[in-house]
Amino acid sequence: MAGKEQRGGAAPERVLSAALNLFSRHGVSGTSLQMIADELGVTKAAVYHRFQSKEEIVWAVVAPALERLAEVAREAEAQPRRSRQVGTALAGVVDLVVEHRRVSAIILTDPAVSRLVRGHPVLYALEERINRVLAGPEPDAETLVGAAMLSGGLMAAGLDPRLADLDDDTLRRHLLDTARRLMRLRPLPRARTAAEF
């Protein structure tokens, strides 16, 4: 496994990388600052020199994915027609999950992270915006079920070891096809890539 690394010390990006690894494997509550420090080959105090608290590390880990999600919401809401809104949002969240697999997973599943994110008013509203774009203004029960299954399904697929061999583009294409089927959208013409929709 990952032995102790001494080169580079507690540089911020090394801390965040180690933290993400450990959060994925043990959950946020199951990860101590000691474990992060050990992974980097430094002491806890060195980590505390860069981040004032454990919570600050968690925020720094999830921030990039959340900013991307906000961007996806903006892009989707800017589309004039409903069908384009759903398509844009789906392609956006699929891209997001493929590129930030493990961050997406800890945001969606770790209770400590969920609390943190949902406790933030802007981010709580962001979740609702995404849901509204995906399910529409007055969704029937089946659409609601599809939308609910989407996030968890994408997360599970992004993490599944059986899919780890697929390259990103193939995974993205299959995920988008499957996600559209889940949401009862018509299949996309083969030639187009996910980014074009």
Partner DNA sequence: GTCTATACGCTGATAGAC
Partner DNA sequence: GTCTATCAGCGTATAGAC
Give the binding site for DNA (CB under 7 A): 9-11, 31-35, 41-46, 48-50, 52-55
Contact flag: residue 125 with a second copy (CB under 8 A): no
Selection from 118, 102, 104 nearest residue 72 by Cα: 104
Which lies closer to a second copy via its Cβ, residue 49 or residue 118?
A: 118
Instruction: State the binding partner of 32 from a second copy, DNA, none, CB within 5 to 8 A by kind.
Output: DNA
Q: C-beta of 37: minimal distance to DNA in Å?
A: 7
Q: Which is nearer to a second copy, 26 or 84 (CB)?
A: 26
- Cβ(58)–Cβ(112) under 8 Å? yes
Tokens 């720094």 sit on residue: 60
HSE-CB of 146 using CA atoms within 13 angstroms: 19
How many residues belong to the site for a second copy (CB under 8 A)?
A: 42
Residue 141 buriedness (CB in 10 A; 0-12 / 13-18 / 19+):
exposed
30: amino acid identity, one letter: G
Nearer to a second copy, 32 or 83 (CB): 32
For residue 140, give both structure tokens.
């029937």
Q: Does 123 bind a second copy (CB under 8 A)?
A: no
42 vs 172, which CB is nearer to a second copy?
Answer: 172
48 binds, among DNA, a second copy, none (CB under 5 to 8 A by kind): DNA
Burial zone of 179 (CB within 10 Å; 0-12 exposed, 13-18 middle, 19+ buried): buried
Q: Does 127 bind a second copy (CB under 8 A)?
A: no
Start-end of H helices in 41-120: 44-50, 54-77, 82-99, 101-109, 111-119
- Residue 65 as a binder of a second copy (CB under 8 A): the answer is no
Site for a second copy in 27-46 (CB under 8 A): 27-30
Q: Distances in Å between the alpha carbon of 105 and those of 87, 102, 162?
A: 22, 5, 16
82 or 184: whose CB is closer to a second copy?
184
Binding site for a second copy (CB under 8 A): 24-30, 108-112, 131, 141-142, 144-146, 148-157, 160, 162-163, 166, 170-171, 174-175, 177-179, 181-182, 184
